[in-house]
Structure 1
Amino acid sequence: MNLNRTSNEQETILKFLKEIQSYSPLEDHSEKALANICFTQKVGKNEVLQEIGKTCKTIYFVMEGSARIFYLKDGLEITEYFAFKNDLIVRAESLFKSLPSNKGIVSIEETLFVGIPSNALFSLFDEFHDIERLFRILIQTVYLETIKRLESIQFQTAEERYKGLFENHPEFIQKIPLKHIASYLGITQVSLSRIRAGIS
């Protein structure tokens, strides 16, 4: 563990390492190698973590708070993905192609992240195959969530999509502006207000 870190930073990174190993365990030496490249970052509400047009060079994990991936369409922000506590958030298409992304990452509220520089992480993959396996699983999880959202827009009603989001994250839905929820669900704010009124 990096000796220059504060005790709070070390504690946060240890929590992060414990959480991600629920997906796939790491050997002790692999865990130490991964810990050495991690850092913590706390941002305020509505703070841009990664800008549109920039290449993704960092993988983030939400420890406290929430964030979202968004893009612009006809001048409007469209939310593609929400990340809550213990979720990974990464612009995978930019990360693996090393190209600028047309998507950005922004916090929804004050949020604490653990970040991992992608170049440092990828350099560990050849030596520590358990780290490579773990992050393959983590990235696949994010990808499958995105596919799940797209399929829900295709096959579910707007009300079903909203109920699914609310049931999975009831404590956070109250904090997210309606315009972001509506764009994520692929509906207008007016339609979302009607759905919420009907449910309540």
Structure 2
Amino acid sequence: MEPFADFLRRIYPVPDADLGRILPLWQEVHFGRREFITRAGEVGRYLYFVLEGIQRSYHLRDGKEYTLAFTYPPSFTGIPESVLVRQPSPHFLECITPSRLLRLPYDKMEQLMLESPAAERLMRKLTEQILVGVLHRQTELLTCSMAERFQLFLRRSPHLLNAVPHKHLASYLGMDATNFSKLLNQLPV
């Protein structure tokens, strides 16, 4: 748990006493390849931290999947709008590869946030990071060309090229699979 504790401290310097209350609340869980962590229509009850594996969140509309995000170590995962506001998830969260995660029941974290200002600040800082990431991605989708989005993706997450089906990567980048293949074929060998 020490690497996870260090990760949390980088988000917000939580005092050891508070960290000692937070860490035992997390439990390790395992999911297989193509197994769902959350399905659309379910209410998310847990925050997750990725120890191993790759996950994908996507939206399904008219039979077509729209990839929203990929998560992999070390990062948090889940469907935030479902967990935070206790509403049915509009999205799916699926494991692309076998995954090992830490899971925290959100109601336990809520109780701890009421009792510990440091725990509340930690969650606020985490929420801020998620919001900034979402806004950054939205800006990329609206202002960058396909080629620019592809290059930004390669700089940020090149390891996903060989681990994730290209149709999901193309969807994430907001392009069709043919354009993705053309951009991929232009890469130096």
TM-score by length of 1: 0.89
1:168 aligns with 2:156: yes
Q: 1:84 aligns with which of 62, 72, 97?
A: 72
Cα contact 2:18–2:116 (8 A) shared by 1: yes
Q: 2:13 aligns with which of 16, 19, 25?
A: 25
Separation (CA, whole Å) in 1 of partners of 2:56 and 2:75: 11
Cα contact 1:61–1:88 (8 A) shared by 2: yes
Separation (CA, whole Å) in 2 of partners of 1:46 and 1:196: 25
Q: 2:54 aligns with which of 22, 44, 66?
A: 66
Identify the residue that residue 106 of structure 2 maps to in structure 1: 118
Separation (CA, whole Å) in 1 of partners of 2:69 and 2:38: 14
Separation (CA, whole Å) in 2 of partners of 1:112 and 1:139: 22
Q: 1:100 aligns with which of 62, 78, 88?
A: 88
**1:45-70 alpha-carbon deviations (Å, 9 max, x no partner):** 12111111101110111111211211
Structure 2: tracts of 5 or more residues without a match: none
Identify the residue that residue 40 of structure 2 maps to in structure 1: 52
Identify the residue that residue 152 of structure 1 maps to in structure 2: 140
Q: Which amino acid aligns with 2:39?
A: E
Separation (CA, whole Å) in 1 of partners of 2:5 and 2:92: 25
Cα contact 2:8–2:14 (8 A) shared by 1: no
1:141 aligns with 2:119: no
Cα contact 2:56–2:96 (8 A) shared by 1: yes
Give the drift of 1:104. 1.5
Cα contact 1:88–1:142 (8 A) shared by 2: no
Tell me the C-alpha RMSD between the 2 structures.
1.3
1:14 aligns with 2:2: yes
1:194 aligns with 2:162: no
Identify the residue that residue 22 of structure 2 maps to in structure 1: 34
Give the drift of 1:172. 2.5
Runs of 4+ in structure 1 over 2 Å off: none
Cα contact 2:49–2:102 (8 A) shared by 1: yes
Cα contact 1:45–1:110 (8 A) shared by 2: yes
Structure 1: tracts of 5 or more residues without a match: 1-12
Identify the residue that residue 170 of structure 2 maps to in structure 1: 182
